A and B are shown apart, each in its own frame.
Chain A
Amino acid sequence: MSELAITVIGRDRPGIVADVAEGLARLGANLTDSTMTRLRGHFAMTLICVGPAVAEAEAALAPLAADGQLLATVRAVVPDGEQTSNGAPYVLAVHGADRMGIVAAMTRVLAEAGGNVTDLSTRLAGALYVVLAEVELPPGVVEQVTARLAATAADLGVEVTLRPADPDLL
């Protein structure tokens, strides 16, 4: 059974999610993981579904793109199965005056320590830029990463905190 990665991006309007889900449901596609948000007002949806062939899914989504306001892409992906965690989860928060390269510099520090970003969002609100990332860090690096993040943040003139993610299970 094929697994498809689908993106739908473009001008927001009511009904896009329903249109995408209906089109795929008619093919018997099973939506597994999906996420949708608005980025600076643009509709942005990414999902994984199981079932149809690439060409079928493309045909089902073609009407969405017909007016030129939305772009839908479909590609087959190899099922990855459950990702095994390679470390402990942390939440990185960065905020400060907007400037070039904040995300690049901060995430490079994580990457160089073998950290894996598992969720990310950034927001520009007026002059304030906010980066929030969930990251898995390999054992034994958190002190060094914290120090390097602080140094990098100081260079950029932004504030940074790195805290263990809330481990509570209810």
Chain B
Amino acid sequence: MNREERAGLGDWTLDVLGPPGQVRPVVSAPAAVLSREGGAVDPTAEQTVRLAADLVATMRVAPGCVGLAAPQIGVGARVFAVDVTGHPKAGIVHGAFVLCNAVVVEASRWKAGREGCMSVPDLTGDVKRAGHLVVEGALPGTGATVRLVTNAFEARALQHEIDHCAGLLFLDRVAGAHAVYQRKVYL
């Protein structure tokens, strides 16, 4: 990725998290942890750094997974990992990163799109998300506060993960009565 796309994360890389995390089991709905608002975390705490590493490790082993939030591995905390690198619908790409206590500060260019979720494995749904997004949060390890400007698919992924941290699933935002689809299984 070029310098411009990396802007916002500064010098932060996954190396800050230390040794690779553990792959944790992914929780499926219905589960209480997925519908509770996550608690704020101390981004410099060792526990938060371990959680961040585990999220990255778990995201990495799931084919096609572009984001994973702490509630999805059973932890009610406002931490998530995202990596949309190489995705055909991506525009701006910040690579692999983890954010703590993230909030949306600007959202515009709303657009409907189909999305799925590892915690709702059998369904997909049409959800309107902002195509231009500004997010603020803290990086695990350094604790640095960052402001990320992004668009397209990375913006969608961030909104999906920030929703998880607030106890919301894409099902809570689908556009209408016929906007949820059985995920097709081809045998």
Contacts and interface: CB of A to CB of B under 8 A. Distances in A.
A25 interface: no
The interface residues of chain A, by DSSP majority, are classed as: strand
Contact of A159 (B123, B172, B176, B178): B172
B53 to A, nearest CB: 29
Interface in B19-33: 28-30
B182 interface: yes
Contacts, number: 68
B118 interface: no
Contacts of B135: none
Contacts of A93: 171-174
A66 interface: no
Interface residues of A, number: 25
| Most interface-central of B28, B35, B172 (chain A CB within 10 A) | B172
Interface of A: 91, 93, 95-97, 118-121, 123, 125-130, 132-134, 158-159, 161, 163, 165-166
17 contacts: A93-B173, A95-B29, A95-B171, A97-B30, A119-B176, A119-B177, A120-B177, A123-B180, A125-B120, A125-B123, A126-B28, A126-B121, A128-B30, A130-B123, A130-B180, A161-B168, A163-B173
